[in-house]
Amino acid sequence: MGHQLDALLVQAPLNPEIFARFHLPVLPLPQGFVLVPLNLSWLEHLENQYPETAFVPLRPVAFRSHPLSSVLCDSVFIHALMAEQAPHSPYCLLKTDYFGGVGFQLARVYAQGALLADGLSLQEALGSLGVRSEAGTDAFESLGLEKFRNSFAYFEGCLASLPVEP
């Protein structure tokens, strides 16, 4: 069974109603964490709809030009939302893409708009956020992330409503 997840992970109370305005689900996880599934096409749409987010002061050095930016759904919109909703909480952008044990996973950790760590394995990123592994499991399983198989499913309706570009 495959696993294709693009998401934001943070240990902070997020207001689900604010995220829902932008069709971004906030899913509670153990240990006080929340998972926000992401989709790059939807985030690009949000950046176009809300261009004021482009002026949020971000400290990551040229994060948009980094080759992992599009792989990880690294979006100005998400950083602006996090600056408003959880300004003092570190957060992780993560990606899994594998099927039958073949593929990759990677993560990037931010705090207050600054890139703290890049190109991490999920275990490293989860550890840096303070995820505690429970007996007999790793940090990924301790949060139940194996249950979230595909973030695209959260955006099918949203993406269908976008205009098709020629």
At residue 105, the pLDDT reads 85
**Dihedral sign, Cα of residue 11, residue 17, residue 21, residue 24:** positive
Phi and psi at 30, nearest 5°, equal -60, 165
> In which band, very low, low, confident or very high, does the pLDDT at 72 lie, cut at 50, 70 and 90?
confident
**Dihedral sign, Cα of residue 63, residue 47, residue 114, residue 155:** negative
Q: Is the pTM of this model over 0.75?
A: yes
At residue 70, the pLDDT reads 57
Residue 68 has pLDDT above 60, yes or no: no
**Can you tell me the distance from the alpha carbon of 139 to that of 130, in angstroms, rounded to the nearest whole number?**
9
Model confidence pLDDT, tens digit, residues 16-38: 999 998 999 999 999 999 999 99
Element (H or E) spanning 10, and its range? strand 3-10
At residue 65, the pLDDT reads 45
